[in-house]
A = this chain, B = another copy of it.
Amino acid sequence: MTAEGHARGAARGDARDVVADLAALLGDRLTTSVDERRQHGRDESYHAPHPPDAVAYPASVEEVQEIVRVCARHRTPVIPFGAGSSLEGHVLALHGGVTVDLRHLNGILEVNPEDMDVAVEAGVTRLQLNRHLRDTGLTFPVDPGADATLGGMAATRASGTTAVRYGTMRANVLGLDVVLADGTLIRTGGRARKSSAGYDLTHLFVGSEGTLGIIVGLRLRLHPVPEHAVAAVCAFPSVERAVDTVIAAIQLGIPLARAELLDERAMDAVRRYAHLDHACAPTVFFEFHGSASETRADTARVRQLAEERGGDRFRVAATTAERERLWQARHDAYPAALALRPGARGLTTDVCVPISRLTECIAETQADLVAASMPVVLLGHVGDGNFHLAFILRRDDPAELAEAQRFADRLVERALRLGGTCTGEHGIGVGKVRFMEREHGAAVDTMRRIKLALDPQNLMNPGKVLPAGAPADAPAPSAAEHAAVER
């Protein structure tokens, strides 16, 4: 049985019928233009594009509901689309269907300074939100790098450099508005800071990658803009010493706002790219948030921990301009890596392991990568045990892609062996579906039951998250039902 195994009922409708019905609803906000379909059939990842049959641009939640109802009637897949910055092929229209681009749902509906929360539509991006919050003393700190939409960040359970202090999307989504597979709109969670009233649907939808419904609205937790932010950088004689320093700081309860590791290859790339004078050694970029005295104390304590572990050239920056200069190397890491090989692109992957196993995981990975024929850089959110590899390769060269994929697969196997997860923040998409059984065992069956219960026709972003198979006791589809959902 394929990933489509649980789809049931009548054969999938003709794409032309869906398009006609949606065009009647949306007018020129429904397009079948080749260019727009192509733009929506890919993300930032290396996965081969799969354009949808059409792209819809709803202007309201009601229109999203109506689109989903029309697609349900025609048994047509629905793929939500935010900024297209996902990294594991989350938005590919693997089985065709209609991509729902949420860019027009970009209203910031309500800011509550007293409760430190905000209600936004799903197409609002994180930088748009933070610009809007500029004069409130509040900020939304989750920072995955790209200016992703908040709906997409929730759907993929995104995080980034600040998760060590402020948590991932899981910790910062208070509630969601979700359009379900039958077009019903539900509101999960609420405005109270805590509740024990019923099942936690919010966290079921956070990270569900559009496979259980379309997130159309979010209520998010905000945080006070820190009074002071201090940056620091320190080079270490080894990755182990670098990681040990961060672990020690966390165990002492020092609230690190960021702790980013670049390995020696990444630092070498950055030095060449920006002519910076950093050492060509494993380096941690720190950030501290708090009052002036807190950040001063925290910085001094981490400096001591670093120096006790052989940390060298611990440099501190307190003004915005100095901070930005100090962190330049971190921000440049990806473009600098790409510049190692003009014309090349990246294949990025991420894993996350218990921090006690991070050194071991990185050491084994670096030893493995010695055999790589292409440049590979390592960047890590050390405080979370989460790190990335970026393989610098030619995406049109199948041999290079296959080689990078082999290294990436071994990385995942290593992370799982060390008690970790196949992805800390990039998500499953299509790229890591094959690791779900290995990581979650029998729990995958529980996930399938939930998918079947909420999306019985398997039309919500089909082919993502869950591997082929059906819940152990679900009725097997007939061959005709099976064939109906294949293209």
- Residues on A lying within 8 angstroms of B by beta carbon are 112-117, 137, 156-159, 163, 168, 170-171, 180, 182, 184-188, 190-201, 203-204, 206-208, 212, 223-224, 226-227, 247, 250-253, 290-291, 293-294, 297, 352-356, 383-386, 415, 419-428, 432, 435-436, 439-447, 449-450, 452-454, 465-466, 471, 473
Q: A197 is contacted by which of B184, B201, B212, B422 (Cβ under 8 Å)?
A: B422
Copies in the complex: 2
The residues of B that contact A182 with a CB separation of less than 8 Å are 473
The SS class assigned to the A binding surface is loop
The residues of B that contact A168 with a CB separation of less than 8 Å are 194, 196
Report yes or no: A198 in contact with B447, Cβ–Cβ below 8 A. Answer: yes
Q: How far is the CA of A124 from the CA of B383 in the complex (A)?
A: 29
Q: A190 is contacted by which of B251, B439, B442 (Cβ under 8 Å)?
A: B439
Report yes or no: B198 in contact with A428, Cβ–Cβ below 8 A. Answer: yes
Q: A433: nearest residue on chain B (CB-CB)?
A: B198
The residues of B that contact A196 with a CB separation of less than 8 Å are 156-159, 168, 207, 423-428
Report yes or no: A356 in contact with B115, Cβ–Cβ below 8 A. Answer: yes
Report yes or no: B203 in contact with A204, Cβ–Cβ below 8 A. Answer: yes
Report yes or no: A192 in contact with B353, Cβ–Cβ below 8 A. Answer: yes
* 14 chain-A/chain-B pairs, Cβ below 8 angstroms: A112-B356, A113-B251, A114-B356, A157-B196, A163-B194, A186-B440, A192-B353, A194-B421, A198-B428, A198-B444, A198-B466, A201-B443, A291-B297, A452-B453
* A198-B436, A355-B114, A465-B199 known; A420+B171 contact, CB < 8 A: no
Q: How far is the CA of A415 from the CA of B191 in the complex (A)?
A: 11
Report yes or no: A197 in contact with B428, Cβ–Cβ below 8 A. Answer: yes
Q: A424 is contacted by which of B156, B192, B466 (Cβ under 8 Å)?
A: B192
Say how far A215's CB is from chain B's closest CB, in angstroms: 14
Report yes or no: B186 in contact with A441, Cβ–Cβ below 8 A. Answer: yes
Q: A415: nearest residue on chain B (CB-CB)?
A: B192
The residues of B that contact A445 with a CB separation of less than 8 Å are 184, 186
| 5 interchain residue pairs of minimum CB distance | A203-B203, A453-B453, A114-B356, A195-B421, A192-B352
Say how far A154's CB is from chain B's closest CB, in angstroms: 11
Report yes or no: B197 in contact with A206, Cβ–Cβ below 8 A. Answer: no
The residues of B that contact A465 with a CB separation of less than 8 Å are 198-199
Q: How far is the CA of A423 from the CA of B194 in the complex (A)?
A: 9
Report yes or no: B207 in contact with A435, Cβ–Cβ below 8 A. Answer: no
Among A163, A195, A251, A384, max chain B CB count under 10 A is at: A195
Q: A194 is contacted by which of B200, B251, B352 (Cβ under 8 Å)?
A: B352
Report yes or no: A186 in contact with B442, Cβ–Cβ below 8 A. Answer: yes
Report yes or no: A419 in contact with B199, Cβ–Cβ below 8 A. Answer: no
Say how far A151's CB is from chain B's closest CB, in angstroms: 15
Report yes or no: A224 in contact with B201, Cβ–Cβ below 8 A. Answer: no
Report yes or no: A193 in contact with B352, Cβ–Cβ below 8 A. Answer: yes
The residues of B that contact A200 with a CB separation of less than 8 Å are 157, 170, 203-204, 206-207
Q: How far is the CA of A471 from the CA of B180 in the complex (A)?
A: 13
